[in-house]
Amino acid sequence: MAALYCAMIYRFDGFELDLARLELRAGGAVRPLEPQVFALLALLVANGERVVSRDEIIEKVWDGRVVSDSAIDSRVKTARQALGDDGRTQRFIKTLHRKGFRFVAQARVVRAEPLVTVAAADDEPAAATPGVRPSIAVLPFRLIGQNATYATLADALAHELIADLARLHWLFVTARESSFRLRGAEADPGEIGRLLGVRYYLSGSVEQTGSRLAVMVELTDTRDGGVVWAENFVVPLGDVHPLREDIRAKTLSALEIRIPAHEATRARLSVSENLDAWSAYHLGLQHMYRFNRSDNATALALFRQSIAKDPGFARAHAGLSFVHFQSAFLRHSEDIAGETALARQLAERGVELDPLDPFVNFAMGRSYWLESDLHGSLGWLERATALSPHYAHGLYARAWAESLSERALESREHVDLAMRLSPIDPMHYAMVGTRAFTHLVQGEDAEAADWADRAARAPGAHVLIALIAAVAHALAGNASQAQAWVRNVQSRNPALRSGDFFRAFPMQSASARARVSTALGDLGF
């Protein structure tokens, strides 16, 4: 049998507070509590990192009904007596004059017995179930220190991240009502994974240090307790609202890169024939982004394996579309028309399966590049970024199409945002190359050469990026640098010609196209 739902037990100083059975136990023996006393104690324990006001107690224990302070004090006294505490020692429940009450003992969450069970093939927890998409919970952020001013911010950050993550269709996100029950309690990662049925969880803390506010965000794998990603944000106290947007944007972007990369790393430890659909997909992504013939062929096989195991997997179809796009874009195949048609067909299939997935819309937009249809491409890429405004790859691809469509300033804004959101992206060289193109089409040749040089020297940059660098340096009058990049291009693909450049980069500006064409001719292409 496998658990369908598990409630929690809080343990502290020899006591167990069982939320499923509404019991307080000491050494296994039940200590009876009135319902309101139990509710009060559960509220305090679950919020141990902060002070709980009398107003909140009235709202949550008495459902907002008018009660006297003496009624609250009476229930607190009874709870203390059940714990062997009193108003003088306050070992468990501390009174803060005119503020409220705080549970000061260290509580740890453990797993309760299942309340409901369903048949399953094995006893693995939901977090480790093979073949399902990655899952995540966002725990309430901890407020460090006694300043309750930022308690609302701590909750708001976690709540906003849950809402944002729910828009990523490839990721299953636990509802706030479940993850927030772990507030203030210490639990090991494996226990969190079993309690909430997730592979990952996001946690964080909010702390005021003098005139600055520090927020830490951390992504943890529940299967081994490893920290996959962490970031520390520090701003002046007056910049709280920009901070919220920065945290949300960078966290979403990091998860788009870090979770697939982490899943791929774990997948490599499995025998390839035993990979489930999601593992094969994530491993395929890593090969796909390397932009060379060999890795593209490996990605093709892995995406096909993923689709064979899950024909309804929209992202695997989008990945396969990207593989065929790459074959046409870099001329890895003699059948360019066939590769172009497959890129479109597979993207369309992905859209049929999940029209709201940003990556699926991204793949659809990319397929239009191959036909020099920038208007059609932009429509899909704008949709991808509307579905996920912090989707770095969508922003970069949109910026690329905009730079070719005589919208250089819009392009620059979007590619700069993509680079800020994902500074260690496997496609970072392409983002830098796009920045170079925004200068190239504006006639800013020195800036274009500088950016193109950086792009072409970046790890993973494909041969067409080197060709952009050659053109940019030629237009900037840097003959020796231009020839160095020409030699690089010819050593990697001696068959490249100016027609290949314009098929890959269908520039709409007649004047910019003429300048580039002249430069290509002078360089021998």
- Report the CATH number at residue 278: 1.25.40.10
Q: What share of the chain is helix, strand, coil (3-state, %, to 5)?
A: 55, 15, 30
Give pLDDT, residue 3: 35
Asked whether the beta carbons of 228 and 221 are under 8 A apart, the reply is: yes
Q: Are residues 406 and 511 in the same domain?
A: yes
Q: Is 87 helix (H, G, I), strand (E, B) or coil?
A: coil
Count CB atoms within 10 A of the CB of residue 207: 17
Is the pLDDT confidence value at 115 over 70?
A: no
* Cross-sheet strand order for the sheet of 29-30: 29-30, 23-26, 15-18, 2-12, 108-118
Strands (DSSP E) contained in 104-246 are 108-118, 135-138, 142-144, 172-173, 200-209, 212-221, 227-236
pLDDT-derived band at 132, boundaries 50, 70, 90: low
For residue 402, the SS3 value is helix
User: Is the pLDDT at 121 greater than 90, yes or no?
Assistant: no
Q: 3-state DSSP call for residue 453?
A: helix
Among 25-39, 90-104, 181-195, 210-224, name the one with the lowest average pLDDT. 181-195
Give the pLDDT of residue 2.
35
Interval 326-344 mean pLDDT? 93
Residue 2: phi, psi to the nearest 5? -125, 140
What tokens appear for 458 in the block?
Answer: 């970046």
Residue 127: which pLDDT band, with cuts at 50, 70 and 90? very low
Picking from 428, 358, 414, 416, the residue whose alpha carbon sits closest to that of residue 386 is 358
- What's the pLDDT at 124? 39
Higher pLDDT, 453 or 61: 453
Distance (Å, rounded) from C-alpha 17 to C-alpha 453? 62
For residue 97, pLDDT over 90 is answered with no
Stated pTM of the model: 0.65
- If you average pLDDT over each of 183-187, 190-194, 388-392, 441-445, which comes out highest? 441-445
- Regarding whether 190 and 292 lie in a shared domain, the answer is no
Say whether both 342 and 396 belong to one domain.
no
For residue 255, is it within any domain?
A: no
Residue 94 inside a domain? The answer is yes
Residue 272 pLDDT grade (very low, low, confident, very high; cuts 50, 70, 90): low
* pLDDT at residue 1, as a whole number: 30
Q: What angle do CA 53, 57, 63 make, to 5 degrees?
A: 140
With beta carbons less than 8 A apart as the criterion, state whether 101 and 76 touch: yes
b/e map 420-456, b = 16+ CB within 10 Å: ebbeebbbbbbbbbbbbbbbbbbebbebbbbbbbbbb
* Residue 23 sits in the same domain as residue 51: yes
Statement to judge: residues 411 and 480 lie in one domain: yes
Average pLDDT over residues 345-367: 93
Domain boundary (369, 404, 433) is at 369
Is 305 in the same domain as 245? Answer: no
- Looking at the domain assignment, is residue 259 inside a domain? no
Whether 120 shows a pLDDT value over 60: the answer reads no
Q: Does residue 406 share a domain with residue 363?
A: no
Rg for the chain, CA atoms, rounded: 28
More confident residue, 318 or 196: 318
Q: What residue numbers bound the domain in which 100 lies?
A: 2-108
Asked if residue 277 is part of any domain, the answer here is: yes
- Whether residue 394 is found in the same domain as residue 524: yes
Is the pLDDT at 288 greater than 60? The verdict is yes
> Residue 141 carries which DSSP code?
P
Kind plus residue range of the DSSP H or E element containing 2: strand 2-12
Distance in angstroms (rounded) separating the CA atoms of residues 280 and 284: 6
- Residue 130: predicted pLDDT: 40
Closest CA to 468 of 432, 511, 428: 432
Two structure tokens written together for 489: 């291009």
Q: Is residue 102 part of a domain?
A: yes
Mean pLDDT is lowest, of 87-101, 132-146, 375-389, 482-496, for 132-146
The pLDDT value recorded for residue 123 is 37
Q: Give the pLDDT confidence of 379-415 residue by residue, as tens digits.
A: 999 999 998 887 888 999 999 999 999 898 899 999 9
Higher pLDDT residue, 210 or 130?
A: 210
- Residue 384 forms part of a structural domain: no
Residue 505, token pair as written in the block: 């980069």
Q: Based on the domain organization, do 301 and 335 belong to the same domain?
A: yes
408 belongs to a structural domain: yes
Q: Residue 407: CB partners within 8 Å, gap ≥ 6?
A: none
Residue range 54-68: average pLDDT? 82
In sequence order, what are the residues at sequence separation of 6 or more whose Cβ sits closer than 8 angstroms to the Cβ of residue 286? 260, 261, 264, 426
Which of 193-197, 225-229, 462-466 is predicted with the least confidence, judged by mean pLDDT?
A: 193-197
Domain count, the chain: 4
Q: Is residue 377 part of a domain?
A: no
Do residues 137 and 198 touch, judged by C-beta distance below 8 A?
yes
- CATH assignment at residue 168: 3.40.50.10610
Structure-model confidence comparison of residues 455 and 145, the more confident one = 455
Residue 503 CA to residue 235 CA, distance in Å, equals 46
pLDDT digits (tens, 9 = 90+) for 476-524: 999 999 999 999 999 988 988 999 999 999 999 999 999 999 999 999 9
Going by pLDDT thresholds of 50, 70 and 90, the confidence category of residue 467 is very high
* Same structural domain, 72 and 45: yes
Considering the domain architecture, whether residues 223 and 306 belong to the same structural domain is answered as: no
Residue ending a domain, among 250, 278, 297, is: 250
401 & 513 share domain: yes
- Asked whether 116 and 11 are in contact (CB, 8 A), the reply is no
**How far is it, in rounded angstroms, from Cα 127 to Cα 111?**
14
